[in-house]
Structure 1
Amino acid sequence: MTKSFIFFSMLYLSGVSGVNIIDGTVAVPHSRPYIAFLIITKERQLEMCGGFLIYPNVILTAAHCKGKAITVILGAHYHSKNEKSQQRIPVQKMITHEAYNDMTLENDIMILKLQFNATITKEVKTIRLPSEDDHFGPGTTCLVAGWGLTSFPGNSSNVLREVGTCYVSEDWPFVFQGDSGGPLVCPGRNNIPTAVGIVSYMNRENCEDSHGSDMYVNVPAYLKWIKSKIGVSCSG
């Protein structure tokens, strides 16, 4: 059976807490053009999540980021500023996995269909999904980026931050809250950036807890599901 989660443990030198980027670095502006900032309307409040563009009209994110309405911001570096590169697109349809469990966060994956296609520019691009030709073994250098907390406790970041991770090793960076739904990106075939995971949740008491683990939705396990919902081939 294909595993639905990828597990991480803490990396001391630099961490992710995006569900947030703790001790990460500011990303080179627009160097991660697939990253999406989601503004989620709940019953009584607004929340934020991350996501990533896989087709001009399709965003992939975590199911627990669902709300009454979602607006997607693409092409952002400072999400709170009105940058010329930004594209704001309302979500037309939210498709959560049929077996999603909001208690255990099992099958924590959601497809967002946009009201209209994003315009592909140098600041807004899609990211490749994995294929059978991709192999991500121990020591593979991966990356997580987002606008989550920069310290614990603390405020979220207005600017996109990122941190490198080491795939399937004893030491992993960690995530917290705020950038759920963002991608875990690893070099795929021909070193093309590939969305291998989706930030789901952190299983630790706080950012100093080195015994907890972080969980990312294992994207390869859901390729057939994604294809069935959007009606096209998903792997690059």
Structure 2
Amino acid sequence: MAFLEYHVSEKSFICGGLLVHEDFVLTAAHCWGSSINVTLRDHNIYQQERTQQVIPVRRAIPHPRYDHNKWVNAIMLLQLRRKAYLTAAVSPIRLPWRRELVKPGMVCSVAGWGHLGMNNPVAERLQEVDLEVQRDEECISRYKDYNTTTQICRETKKEEGSFFGDSGGPLV
């Protein structure tokens, strides 16, 4: 899990991400600013931890067909200025094979440091929740812009889930 802090017009924002190679982090394409720092192995964002590594980003590589108006292809790689030091606490996540599909009924985990609700601050500690994947029809009937080719429908009965600041984080 990677914690991203980036700046836009002198304001600071946060996102999540995943270390996918020793010098690359995968995140959401809108998690971009004038400077981006990635913190690896950061359980509590307000405390210095001996296992954490803070690495600035060399360059951001958004999907070539990213459309920020429609949130299409909203994925981005961040090349780090240096390789992460791989330890028991910091290692790349294994990405799924092409044919590995997420199907209705599967339980997936979502994690991040985002806001804990409307008008609430960001989480100090990494939060995680399990959510069940639903059939696409559940979300087609609820959301007019739901896209079955690029989105995954998750249960909506739970109050828990991802929120502002969790963008770019994992669904595993």
How far did residue 51 of structure 1 move? 0.5
Q: Which has the higher contact order (CA 8 A, sep 6+)?
A: 1
Within 5 A, what are the aligned runs for 1:25-174? 35-169=1-135, 170=138, 171-172=155-156, 174=161
TM-score (norm 2): 0.83
Distance 1:139 1:51, change over 3 A: same
After TM superposition, what 4+ stretches of structure 1 lie above 6 angstroms from structure 2? none
Quote the RMSD (CA, aligned, Å).
1.4
Identify the residue that residue 168 of structure 2 maps to in structure 1. Answer: 181
TM-score (norm 1): 0.61
Say if 2:114 and 2:162, in contact at 8 Å, map to a contact too. Answer: no
Identify the residue that residue 229 of structure 1 maps to in structure 2. Answer: none
| Structure-2 separation of matches of 1:125 and 1:139 | 29
Within 5 A, what are the aligned runs for 1:10-21? none
How far did residue 136 of structure 1 move? 2.4
Specify the code of the residue in structure 2 equivalent to 1:182: G
How far did residue 95 of structure 1 move? 0.4
How far did residue 181 of structure 1 move? 0.8
Specify the code of the residue in structure 1 equivalent to 2:72: E
Corresponding residue pairs, total: 151
How far did residue 93 of structure 1 move? 0.8
Secondary structure of 1:107's aligned partner: coil
Moved more, 171-180 or 60-69: 171-180
What whole-Å deviation, never above 9, does each CA across 1:208-236 have from its counterpart, x for those lacking one? xxxxxxxxxxxxxxxxxxxxxxxxxxxxx
Larger helix share, 1 or 2: 1
| Structure-2 separation of matches of 1:147 and 1:54 | 19
How far did residue 132 of structure 1 move? 3.0
Secondary structure of 2:30's aligned partner: helix
How far did residue 135 of structure 1 move? 3.3
Percentage of matched positions with identical amino acids: 40
Specify the code of the residue in structure 1 equivalent to 2:80: L
How far did residue 133 of structure 1 move? 4.2
| Structure-2 separation of matches of 1:63 and 1:179 | 13
| Structure-2 separation of matches of 1:183 and 1:78 | 18
Point out where structure 2 has 5 or more consecutive residues left out of the alignment: 139-154
